[in-house]
Structure 1
Amino acid sequence: MKQQEYATGAARTAGGTSDGRTGGAGRSTTDAVVVVREPARGPGAGPVPGGAAGADAPQDADAAAVPPGELSPEGLLPGELSPDPGLLRLARWFAEAAPGTADDLCAAAFGLYPARHFGAAAEPSGGTSGGASGDEVSWWHGPTAHTPAPPRAREPRTAPGLRRARRDAAALPVVLSGVKQGKPGRHRRPERSRGAVPLVPQDRSAATTAAERRIAARLLLAHPLVTASGPHADGFPLIRRHRDWLAERFDTLLGYPLVVGPWHARLHKAGPGPGAVRRLEHPATGAPFTPGGYTRLALALALLVDAPEQLPLGRLLAAMDNADPGPATGTGDLSDPSDLAMALAVLADWQVLADVPADLTDASAVLTVDRELARAVPAGPPALADDAADLIRHAAEAEPGTAVRRRLAETPAVLTADLPEDQRAWLRDHRYSGPAALAEFLGLEAEQRAEGVALLDPAEELTDLALSGAGTAAQAALLLVERLVEEVRPLPGETTGADVPVPDALIDGVLGDIADEYGLPSGWRRDYLADRTALRRDALDLLHRMGLITTRPSGWLLRAPAARYAPAPDLLPAPGTGRHSRRDPDLTIPAPATPHAGLPA
């Protein structure tokens, strides 16, 4: 199945542009992707399988015309919210899924995950070893991006996002308001009126156009849903200005449909496939979603796509309770406050909901619903899949070139050992031209190594995770991967492939040394220092999500790109000397010839 057909729902969809800030999708042209509800079935009929909400569904005014006690044409009581059957089906799949599968299902169904890339380039950039070209050098023994300075306690960085044009001088003429950029100063010329001299030149240079397009493309890849009033509103005019060019490039290179309307832009990403380590998190706390949280999210969306603009919270919660897929699916109690709070927080972050109260027990609180954005969230209708696994698989289907380019654009590194044979052959035939096209499109740098390719973002803007990062877990993870590489890195000439086994005892020992050495001096969190198990879990989780370590039934494996964060290789390393480290059992350490001063012989 082609990704274009999946994202638009093939023949099950109809498009339309918004006629206002809320609602209105599917009413004249083809700028929005909305699945049309199937014809109404009689009272008492079961749910219609598949589909997402359409604009032709009856609203509250129609429901109010039904005499009290009688069912509406769709089998609903007067005033009852009309749930979308396709999203209800998705909620059932979430409720039945294991935690990892639920993450993959969310990425496939919504496609709202950000890109993820390594930051600092290796020194020298694209370097060589012994006269070999960059793509002949292994990550294990090639140039590194290691920073020898120990981590220091510092304030957490702001939420990941593009820093607009301040890193690109060519984009400086882009001013979105009538005020010049920068603070007033003694040497700054007086402000001119808006009508005197246009702030944005009419004859835009090719360099400025290219810079604007790159900024817009990076913004969409980092944030697939951009609104005119959201946190990335400054970039929305650039997306609208270059929407035709962006739509063509995204479709050609990645097979991603781009929909740009008057109030929002939506890049419909494909699902990354099973085991992609992409999860939804609470926008404020970073807490990961559980299957229960995903279930509440899908249930809420199923009801909001046709909800009135002003919706009492109590009415939404009652409708979610009535739409419960059933106890046989293991959904549990829909009144779980943590899962419900997670779902509503994400919907507010996506701007589907506004005026969400802090106290979710206040049933009289009134929510503001943006139906247009609610309909833009699903990337593809579940009706085209048989079950959750089928949806995850279909969402990731693509021809070999598109599949490899998606991996390059979305993931930190692409290792040839991870690719199926057809994709491996494509990357071998397009080893330079394939990454170069994406690097030019997104402003990235290609790092070619014997094990694969990585597209780097030195600005650390086009990524949701970063090494090195702020916080105790991130600092511990960076030190941990550095020392693990030094312990288990293969010698040149050894045939090990892209992964090397790492014993659990070694992880525990190295992490213990790191915590003792850096914990208190660097101001690490006391709860982590008291609970080394939690520190181990979160540090390994970060390394796993960055693709530097992976797990198999046999245990943890260190991946070749991890070596880019370690010092240059020492071909004759000394055994570990930390008090938590294991010593080589075959190594005999001779006694000192002369006793240390002050110690008995």
Structure 2
Amino acid sequence: MLENPVAYYADADSELLGQLRAPALAEDLERLTGLTVERRAEGVALVDTSGKLSDIRFPGGGTVAQAALLLAARISAAAQRPGRHALELLPAPTAAERLAARALRIDAALPTRGLVAELAEPDQEPVNEESAYEAPGDEGRVPGETRYPFVTDSWLRGGLKEITAEYGAGFATDLRGDPDRLLGQVLDLLAAMSLIARVDGGALVLPLLARYRGVTARVKTRTAAQPTSQTALFADDTVTDTAKEPTP
């Protein structure tokens, strides 16, 4: 809980799950850190509104953070659609699988010499790359596996395109002109905050993303009396690290 934005119960084994659900853990963390512990049906999170203990502040300022907040609101709204408009549900990679995938990306950037070259010999056990949508082998699958709404890459690109068209005047010029780079950075930020899980072909909507449902924004232009006319984007829910909860 200290090292991650949220600890999802679905990622925990039975022994850890009991500890996460215990009231004593939340009380100890609040006492030791001074932060607020949020306990929901899906997991437990520490909320750092001061930003003193967090390396990433979200919501935050800047083009990537603002675009991520607005895209999060659209994704969350799409995840709530019922009936035939409902998103497909898929199982998410576990926390261990996400860590392994991150390690593979890091290893792929290392030079292939020395020890790394030895580890890459052909007789090495092949890496299992099936973790995005299903665990290897049906026999290991737990009944009632948690599944999450899936949004495709094309949907995400379209959503960001609409956001840029509406609020792009407040975005940095270089990112506004490179939508693919902006989308990549936006999704990286949302994944780092455990709001989504990136998978082949798109992203899975994780429960914490519902916190940012209903976020709105406005484009505010400086007065003409300024030497140069500049435009900035302001999200209405960025004054603290938590967005307003929707009204039932």
Q: Same fold (TM over 0.5)?
A: yes
List per-residue Cα deviations over 1:255-281 (Å, max 9, x = no partner): xxxxxxxxxxxxxxxxxxxxxxxxxxx
Given that 1:451 and 1:498 are in contact with CA atoms closer than 8 Å, whether structure 2 keeps it comes out as: no
Residue equivalent to 2:128: none
Count of aligned pairs between the two proteins:
159
Change (3 A) 1:412 1:498: farther
**1:512 is paired with a residue of what secondary structure?**
helix
1:361-510 residue pairs with structure 2 within 5 A?
A: 408-428=1-21, 430=22, 432-489=23-80, 497=146, 499-510=148-159
Q: Take 1:570 and 1:457, find their aligned partners in 2: how far apart are those partners?
A: 23
Q: Which has the higher contact order (CA 8 A, sep 6+)?
A: 2
1:539 to 167, 186, 191: 186
Change (3 A) 1:419 1:465: same
Identity %: 35
Change (3 A) 1:415 1:457: same
**2:39 is paired with a residue of what secondary structure?**
strand
CA displacement at 1:569 relative to structure 2: 5.5
Q: Take 2:80 and 2:49, find their aligned partners in 1: how far apart are those partners?
A: 25
Q: Which runs of 5+ in 1 are unaligned?
A: 1-407, 572-601
CA displacement at 1:489 relative to structure 2: 2.5
Given that 2:67 and 2:186 are in contact with CA atoms closer than 8 Å, whether structure 1 keeps it comes out as: yes
List per-residue Cα deviations over 1:326-385 (Å, max 9, x = no partner): xxxxxxxxxxxxxxxxxxxxxxxxxxxxxxxxxxxxxxxxxxxxxxxxxxxxxxxxxxxx
- Matched to 1:476, the amino acid is A
**1:410 is paired with a residue of what secondary structure?**
coil
- Matched to 2:31, the amino acid is E
CA displacement at 1:409 relative to structure 2: 1.3
CA displacement at 1:525 relative to structure 2: 1.1
Change (3 A) 1:499 1:551: same
Q: Take 2:44 and 2:38, find their aligned partners in 1: how far apart are those partners?
A: 6
- Matched to 1:545, the amino acid is A
Q: Which runs of 5+ in 2 are unaligned?
A: 83-88, 90-145, 215-244
Q: Take 1:425 and 1:440, find their aligned partners in 2: how far apart are those partners?
A: 20
TM-score for both structures, normalised by structure 1: 0.25
1:550 aligns with 2:141: no
- Matched to 1:517, the amino acid is E
1:263-282 residue pairs with structure 2 within 5 A?
A: none
Change (3 A) 1:553 1:477: same
CA displacement at 1:553 relative to structure 2: 4.0
Residue equivalent to 1:530: 177
Given that 2:5 and 2:46 are in contact with CA atoms closer than 8 Å, whether structure 1 keeps it comes out as: yes
Given that 2:164 and 2:176 are in contact with CA atoms closer than 8 Å, whether structure 1 keeps it comes out as: yes
Q: Take 1:569 and 1:463, find their aligned partners in 2: how far apart are those partners?
A: 25
CA displacement at 1:413 relative to structure 2: 0.7
List per-residue Cα deviations over 1:64-114 (Å, max 9, x = no partner): xxxxxxxxxxxxxxxxxxxxxxxxxxxxxxxxxxxxxxxxxxxxxxxxxxx
CA displacement at 1:500 relative to structure 2: 1.6
CA displacement at 1:412 relative to structure 2: 0.9
Q: Take 1:519 and 1:552, find their aligned partners in 2: how far apart are those partners?
A: 27
The structure with the largest helix share of the pair is: 2
List per-residue Cα deviations over 1:232-256 (Å, max 9, x = no partner): xxxxxxxxxxxxxxxxxxxxxxxxx
**2:2 is paired with a residue of what secondary structure?**
helix
Q: Take 2:63 and 2:31, find their aligned partners in 1: how far apart are those partners?
A: 35
Q: Take 1:498 and 1:453, find their aligned partners in 2: how far apart are those partners?
A: 18
Residue equivalent to 1:157: none
TM-score for both structures, normalised by structure 2: 0.59
Change (3 A) 1:419 1:439: same
1:518 aligns with 2:109: no
1:564 aligns with 2:211: yes
